[in-house]
Amino acid sequence: MTRRVLAIALAVSVFSSPLGAQNSKVEINLPTDNDALFHGGGPDFYQYIERDFHGEKSTPWEGGRYGFVRNPVSTAQGLIYTRFHEGIDIRCLHRDARGEPLDEVRAIADGKVVHANQVAGYSNYGRYIVIEHVWDGSPYYSLYGHLSEIAVGVGQRVNRGERIARMGYTGEGLNQARAHLHLELNLMFNRNFESWHDHNFRDPNHNGIYNGINLAGLDIARSQRPAIPG
């Protein structure tokens, strides 16, 4: 099977240099069969959001991209977006006769499963997986959200392209029509996150240091380039 891969460049320090600045490159796979990112992207790749702005309803696909792409506000300078989306939302391609999503979700790179949240109500991500990748001696974390089922366990090593889950629509504000994969590539803020969370929040933290608040998302769609298909 022909497979599209991405190559992302790792920087010495993401705080002083953007991804793609220098150093070694790591090849990663797209996590589903949807490869429209390589030929136009747009509405064929990104899952639309449902928006009601000043009484006008719309379904912009741009809301599935990374960055300030949600919650528009009108200002004297024009329209601005106030909500930051730390990952990308990848559209569903395969459904059964009832409309349920069937897309396999696969690891974007070799790594180790460090978190698998099986309880949809424990996170806005719904059921989700976090895989740790060590590149140039530094840990990066890929996160796969809104899953219907999880096929791997914590501590399990996975290979690039290995099936880890099935796409779904678990998590806050989703429905069957908007089933998609939420993908993030992250750095971790602090391994002492749990004590900080307990001090500052009343709600329980069910996901430890792999809580989304403790993960800083990188622009995975922009910080890569197509590599030779394999």
Q: What is the pLDDT of residue 10?
A: 57
The pLDDT of residue 227 is 41
pLDDT for the residue numbered 48: 84
Contact 183, 220 (CB under 8 A): yes
Task: Give ∠ CA 43-47-51 in degrees, rounded to 5.
Answer: 95
10-residue block means of pLDDT along the chain (230 residues)? 54 39 74 92 88 77 77 78 82 98 98 98 97 96 98 98 98 94 97 97 97 94 50
Residue 223, pLDDT score: 56
3-state secondary structure 88-133: EEEECCCECCCCCECCEEECCCCEEEEEEECCHHHCCCCEEEEEEE
- The counts of H helices and E strands in the chain are 1, 16
**Burial (CB count within 10 angstroms: exposed 0-12, middle 13-18, buried 19+), residue 146:** buried
Instruction: Provide the pLDDT for residue 55.
Output: 80
Give the structural domain span for 33. Answer: 5-226
Helix (H, G, I), strand (E, B) or coil at 200: helix
Instruction: Report the CATH number at residue 199.
Output: 2.70.70.10
Exposure string for 163-195, b = 16+ CB within 10 A, e = fewer: ebbbbbbbbeebeeebbbbbbbbbebeeeebee
Number of domains making up the chain: 1
